[in-house]
Structure 1
Amino acid sequence: MKFLTIIFILFMTTASVAGAQNRVTIVNAGYNGNNTVELLARIDKDVVAKKPQLVVMMIGTNDMLNLRNILTVQEYKKHYQELIDIIKKHSKLMLMTTPPINVEYLKQRVDQSHYAPDGPQARVDSANAVVRELAAKNKCHLIDLNRILLACGGSTEDKESLFQNVPNFNINDGVHPTANGYKVIGTAVYQAIVNTYPDVSSIVCFGDSITFGYKMHGEGTIKGDSYPAVLNRMFNQ
């Protein structure tokens, strides 16, 4: 399987570094349904007050797709830059693009007129273009998670998909990762951190339900299957 091969390669690349790491404090600061506006509303409590050395931020799926929190791409860009400005005053910052989506599942759940004129895929692509642009502009390390997960097969309707679907989770989701999907994400984040900021000892993972670990064992914590939990194991076990 593609994702197992990639995880093995990433692990072998970083295994020699892992033993040299001091114990690292990981905080899961993901929250279901959040968009950039809601991250701004809780950034002082969930990020600044914790005084992390590094923040890993992934946000945008709800801004683009969640009808309760949907924004224009221009609004998303504005709020995203505000988040960057605040975080960089207090800590190092890594950004992640948002994961791939299964458009067919979205069509079953949501009236596509809400995503007019270009549709959900174009909205996700536009948001990820914003993340890449702002990462370069603000000199933030970028983990292009969308491209990594597409290389592992993307969000499909196969049982082996890295995203929750009918065959593997009995739900037409196509947006939230499975436990195996989180292993890929956690490994990619781990590699980026040890290669870029090897001396950090406190990390906040800041984002929405994808960071939270929606429907995963241990959701919202650093135990179980979310990517912060995977990250915690890789640093501390």
Structure 2
Amino acid sequence: MDPFTIVAFGDSLTYGYGVLDHVAFPACIKKDFPKWRVINKGVNGNTTREALERLEKDVLVFRPQIVTIFFGSNDCSLLEGYYRPLIEYEKNLRSITELVLSFRQEKNFNNGMILPIFITPPPVVDTDFFPFTTSDRVELYAESMKKIALEYNCPVIDFFSALWAKKEEAFDDFFQYDGIHLSNAGYDLLYPMIREKLESLTKK
């Protein structure tokens, strides 16, 4: 498998807020694909609005072959300064996708285009501790991301559904104390989905 450059583009769930560096999925990619250049461009507190503003300097400048796009948890939050209406979320995602797809990368992969891989935002623990979002709200944004991925014929990892399917198990264990950020167990659930997708897309 040829070395690739992959940019992990997202918010605190990509950055790895609250967990050790080796736990967040960009570090796991680097461990499993040691020849790849893996660049973690997760920024705590980001929404798709900030993502669009930093797309050039944080993604396109690296001419990656693959970029993971993992936003929505902050966009759907009613916390002041974070909330982006669903219509803006979709508009921003479309703009990000079109800019990524229009940019050329330097390998004979995906017809010379950067390949976006969407990751749907996960559900949350619905409690009064951090009441600014609910799983019902997140689901609307996750479904919108899936719709946009389909429009542009881009791969999508439906992390929302995979985690929601664990609702009858020890659901809280997949999250940190705030019920929003992923715990080690949450990343342990997410990363194999990412690895499987990467292997299927990059194998010869």
TM-score normalised over the length of structure 2: 0.72
Among 42, 54, 57, the residue aligned to 1:42: 54
Report the secondary structure of 1:164's partner residue: coil
Q: 40-49 vs 184-193, which deviates more? A: 184-193
Rounded to whole Å, the distance in 2 between the matches of 1:147 and 1:127 is 12
Report the secondary structure of 1:87's partner residue: helix
Contact 2:69 2:117 (C-alpha < 8 Å) held by counterparts: yes
Sort the Cα spacing of 1:43 and 1:155 in 2 relative to 1 into closer, same or farther, 3 A. farther
Among 136, 148, 165, the residue aligned to 2:162: 148
The residue number in structure 2 matching 1:86 is 99
Q: 1:142, CA displacement in angstroms?
A: 0.8
User: Residues 55-74 of structure 1: CA distance to partner in whole angstroms, max 9, x if unpaired?
Assistant: 01110111101432101111
The residue number in structure 1 matching 2:87 is 74
Relative to its length, the structure with more helix (as a share) is 1
Rounded to whole Å, the distance in 2 between the matches of 1:194 and 1:146 is 21
The residue number in structure 1 matching 2:184 is 179
Rounded to whole Å, the distance in 1 between the matches of 2:161 and 2:151 is 20
Among 109, 112, 121, the residue aligned to 1:98: 121
TM-score normalised over the length of structure 1: 0.63
The residue number in structure 2 matching 1:135 is 149
Count of residue pairs the alignment pairs up: 162
Within the alignment, does 1:108 sit opposite 2:120 as a pair? no
Q: 1:94, CA displacement in angstroms?
A: 0.6
Q: Which segments of structure 1 move beyond 3 Å, counting only runs of 4 or more?
A: 152-158
User: Residues 13-68 of structure 1: CA distance to partner in whole angstroms, max 9, x if unpaired?
Assistant: xxxxxxx9671111111000000010011110110001110001110111101432
Instruction: Give the aligned residue type for 2:39.
Output: V
Rounded to whole Å, the distance in 2 between the matches of 1:94 and 1:176 is 21
The residue number in structure 1 matching 2:135 is 121
Q: CA RMSD in A?
A: 2.3
Sort the Cα spacing of 1:129 and 1:154 in 2 relative to 1 into closer, same or farther, 3 A. farther
Q: 1:154, CA displacement in angstroms?
A: 7.8
The residue number in structure 2 matching 1:63 is 75
Contact 2:121 2:160 (C-alpha < 8 Å) held by counterparts: yes
Higher relative contact order (CA 8 A, sep 6+): 1
User: Residues 65-107 of structure 1: CA distance to partner in whole angstroms, max 9, x if unpaired?
Assistant: 1432101111111111111111112211110110110111xx3
Contact 1:102 1:155 (C-alpha < 8 Å) held by counterparts: no
Contact 2:117 2:156 (C-alpha < 8 Å) held by counterparts: yes
For structure 1, the residue ranges without an aligned partner over 5 or more in a row are 1-19, 166-172, 200-237
Instruction: Give the aligned residue type for 1:141.
Output: P
Rounded to whole Å, the distance in 1 between the matches of 2:50 and 2:83 is 12
Sort the Cα spacing of 1:147 and 1:109 in 2 relative to 1 into closer, same or farther, 3 A. closer
Sort the Cα spacing of 1:157 and 1:187 in 2 relative to 1 into closer, same or farther, 3 A. closer
Instruction: Give the aligned residue type for 1:174.
Output: G
Sort the Cα spacing of 1:47 and 1:194 in 2 relative to 1 into closer, same or farther, 3 A. same
Report the secondary structure of 1:177's partner residue: coil
Rounded to whole Å, the distance in 1 between the matches of 2:197 and 2:115 is 13
